Amino acid sequence: MSAPVAQPGEHNLAVLADQSYARHGDHPMVFFEGTWHSSTEIAERSARVAGGLRELGIEPGDRVVVLTMNTPEVFVSYRALWRVGAVVTPVIFLQTPPELRHILEDSSAKAAIVTPELLPLVRAAGDGLGLTVIVAGPTGEETDVVAYESLESADPIDIAPRGDDDLAALLYTGGTTGRAKGVMLSHRGLWESGHALHRVGESQGTTRWLLPLPLSHAYGLIVVISGLHSSRPQTSVLQRWFDAKGWLELAQEHRGESSTVVPSMLQMLLDQPYQDYDLSSLRSFGSGGAPLLPALREKAEEAFGVTILEGYGCTESSAVIAASTIEESRPGSVGKPLSHAEVIIAGPDGEPVPAGEEGEIWVRGPGVMQGYWNDPEQTAATVVDGWLHTGDIGHFDADGYLYVDDRIKDLIIRGGFNIFPRDVEDALLAHEAVTAAAVVGRPDAQRGEEVVAVVALHPGARTTSEELIAFAKTRLAAHKYPREVRILDAVPVTSVGKTDRKAVRSMVRTTEGES
């Protein structure tokens, strides 16, 4: 493998990956399903796969979809694509054929890297698009696909020059309010965001990570990039997909020190017999992707003997805006803005509001997206004079800690009163039987919107809708408590563990009555 070479654009992510390898040398890097993969293996495979991609005709600026579960090939593919100058287009595998076809068509993807079990999905979605399909795994009798291992027989190549503002990734949002939009993230934006996150976590001295997050999501991607900045060799124990029992087994076996999670994962871990495992090596969890309810944080910290470090960001901000540290962590807060992000809480007039007052969270800095792919109108509405309007409602406290209170689009207006769903969810989750809750507004002819909740119960717990409504009444103002509560087997969540409010809204608006 050739040595790193200086390239135009000091924030080229392929250069960063080579610098990381040069700094740390050979070491165990990724453990996956019984096998260790060394840093040398990952680096050398990446350089050869990049050569194979170039032989396939992949050129700088081409979009290449990566549609796999978590496997070591994700690490290899990202590095190889950046090395050849292509734009990584990660897609979470829980897609319907129409959703995936929209992404393939909208991005004009030239190729897709997939694992065998997802080949039927890609065939259904990509029919007639002329897509080159690369299969990372056994191809069987397939003759119209490219075997990933064949790319690895190519000669290694040097890094393609890319500028700071060139695209490194095109990430499609979940499409909770419509069709998914492609978020354009530059080499510099992702480099700076990863570096800022690395600086926050460096003081912990953590070197053994458990990675259950989808690496195809912005949160997972920035965790990978952050690790490339580390001054210490990093070891990652990778899960194909999050499984709570499997996570506990891996944490015990590999003496895991930290893990990046979303709140729903914490709850699933608490629902396991975690006391049966030796988790004494754990120091912290990094929690992001969705609000972490105070009661859940308290339970998890007590159960696992850790500090939970909350963070905040969005795809449009290159994944991170603020994060907590072990030295500076406050329950309910997502920490302070990171070094690369300038944040204000904007009032209706666009001016910053004083500490303690709520407003929309605006951010600017190198991590802010270059825009939405093929959507200049939505770009202009979202990034104004360099400020990303996040759509989140939040506030600062007197010490500069940031709190995320809710989403503007999730606000319920009942009889002229503003109601934050999270306030109602917190109240319901205080009930001993409730393990998950989601609250939405349902159109109502008399009051504009009515407050409706869906909940799931702890295993073996029992309660009724009427009891939960009465419980909420004792904790919420008269205009806030839910008039309807439905008890479900599980509250709908998205592929990355966030509450799927789109699904909940559809549920409560198309059916009547209580469970």
Per-residue pLDDT of 144-176, as tens digits, reads 899 999 999 999 999 999 999 999 999 998 644
- 172 phi-psi bin (left φ>0, alpha ψ -120 to 50, beta other): beta
Of 408, 433, 460, the one marking the end of a domain is 408
Q: Are residues 384 and 416 in the same domain?
A: no
pTM for this model (two decimals): 0.85
Q: Are residues 278 and 386 in the same domain?
A: yes
Asked whether residue 19 is assigned to any structural domain, the reply reads no
Q: Are residues 400 and 438 in the same domain?
A: no
Position 44 pLDDT exceeds 50: yes
Position 3 pLDDT exceeds 50: no
The contacts found for 401-404 with CB under 8 angstroms, 24 or more apart, are 401/328, 401/330, 401/333, 401/335, 401/336, 402/312, 402/321, 402/322, 402/333, 402/334, 402/335, 402/336, 402/337, 402/343, 402/361, 403/332, 403/333, 403/334, 404/291, 404/312, 404/334, 404/361
Q: What distances in angstroms separate CA 421 from CA 92, 193, 407, 418, one per listed residue?
A: 27, 30, 9, 10
**Residue 369: CATH number of its domain:** 3.40.50.12780
Q: Are residues 264 and 367 in the same domain?
A: yes
Q: Are residues 97 and 158 in the same domain?
A: yes
Of 147, 162, 177, the one marking the end of a domain is 162
Of 377, 408, 439, the one marking the end of a domain is 408
Asked whether residue 361 is assigned to any structural domain, the reply reads yes
Q: Are residues 340 and 199 in the same domain?
A: yes
Model confidence at 4, pLDDT cuts 50, 70, 90, reads very low
Asked whether residue 16 is assigned to any structural domain, the reply reads no
Q: Which domain holds residue 422?
A: 411-510
**Residue 452: CATH number of its domain:** 3.30.300.30
Q: Are residues 196 and 117 in the same domain?
A: no
Asked whether residue 434 is assigned to any structural domain, the reply reads yes
Asked whether residue 384 is assigned to any structural domain, the reply reads yes
Q: Are residues 397 and 420 in the same domain?
A: no
Q: Are residues 366 and 424 in the same domain?
A: no
Q: Which helix (H) or strand (E) holds 97?
A: helix 97-107
Q: Are residues 147 and 277 in the same domain?
A: no
Asked whether residue 96 is assigned to any structural domain, the reply reads yes
pLDDT tens, 400-444?
999 998 888 888 888 777 788 888 998 999 999 999 999 999 888
How many domains is the chain partitioned into structurally? Answer: 3
Q: Are residues 401 and 424 in the same domain?
A: no
Asked whether residue 53 is assigned to any structural domain, the reply reads yes
Sign (positive or negative) of CA dihedral 246, 503, 500, 124: positive
Average the pLDDT over 9-36 and give the result: 95
Model confidence at 510, pLDDT cuts 50, 70, 90, reads low
Sign (positive or negative) of CA dihedral 423, 427, 429, 434: negative
**Residue 30: CATH number of its domain:** 3.40.50.980
pLDDT tens, 488-497?
999 998 777 7
Q: Which residues contact 9 (CB under 8 A, 6 or more apart)?
A: 161, 162, 163, 164, 165, 166, 187, 188
Asked whether residue 20 is assigned to any structural domain, the reply reads no
Give the helix ranges, DSSP H, for 305-384. Answer: 376-382
Q: Are residues 434 and 466 in the same domain?
A: yes
| Spatial separation of the C-alpha atoms in residues 195 and 353, rounded to whole Å | 29
